Amino acid sequence: MQLVLISGLSGSGKSIALDVLEDSGHYVVDNLPGRLLFALLDTLAERGTERVAVSVDVRSGEGLDQLPEVGRALRMRGAMDLRVLFLDAATPTLVKRYSETRRRHPLSDGARTLPECIELERDLLAPLREIAHVIDTTSLAPNTLRTWVKQFVEVGAEAGITLLFQSFGFKHGVPLDADYVFDVRCLPNPYWDPALRPLTGRDAPVARFLEAEADVREMRDDIQRFVARWLPAFDRDNRSYMTVAVGCTGGQHRSVWIAESLAAAFRGSRHALVRHRELGSGDPAPAAR
């Protein structure tokens, strides 16, 4: 059985993720109390259900702090492909989304402000975030989130730890979902060449420009050596994903090319994916292996 546990902050996009999983054939349960999880799984196993998605968040009540232990227990069950996905977003973005929908926050009690509710929710869900693959939806379009969720569930379980290289633009904010963040704004910028400005780091003329610069190659190689040095520590920690974010000013040229180059360098030995936040793109969802 494949079990996808979805959690995250209210307003971060969990409904979109659940819709994606339901459309892909998962049996979806929203807002399940944690104490009922094992009973649900036993029932669905008896029915022969092979793909299940369960949303667990602050609406589920007590026991959130026990969910990491529940996750470890589930991983020890035979024939269980467990994926834990956590959706996050910056507090100002969540406040804006609430103001647009005029919905009430689940932790609102009349005494807390909306930002205080969001920060309390963030604290309560912190233990679950630690064991999950995190997607920061602050700057994501809904269609991009749908693509990334599909990608998350369709990577083969036997692939081991997945390396995820993500480009971004600092002027749009640092992603919350990164394990490591590298700043490449010090490198020569193709933006200042009028012929290259409308292109991206995925285009051949930009790639030739950057690859011709010794500092760009050296920065890329330094990041590659750093990731290779610390990747075994993530393996020992039984992590499913290691997310490396590479940022330049606008997230169009330098960071895109370096993220693509790093993913290509590791694909021979690891399962490596690439995402470009500001381009709203990335690798297509791979077939399950």
Q: For residue 135, give the nearest of 13, 218, 250 by alpha carbon.
A: 13
pLDDT at 155: 67
Token readout for 90 is 């910056």
> Structural domain boundaries of the chain?
2-154, 162-282
pLDDT of residue 285: 39
Do 188 and 210 touch, CB atoms closer than 8 A? Answer: yes
Q: What is the pTM of this model?
A: 0.75
Consecutive sets of 10 residues in the chain, 289 residues long: mean pLDDT of each? 91 93 92 83 90 87 66 67 91 91 85 91 88 90 90 68 93 92 97 96 97 97 96 81 94 97 91 90 43
* Protein fold of 2-154: Rossmann fold (3.40.50)
Cα–Cα distance measured from residue 157 to residue 289, given in angstroms and rounded to the nearest whole number: 8
Question: If DSSP states are collapsed to H, E and C, what string results for 142-168?
Answer: HHHHHHHHHHHHHCCHHHCCEEEEEEE
User: Which DSSP category does 111 fall into?
Assistant: S
107, 110, 116, 119 alpha-carbon torsion, rounded to 10°: 0
Spatial distance between the Cα atoms of 173 and 166, rounded to a whole number of angstroms: 13
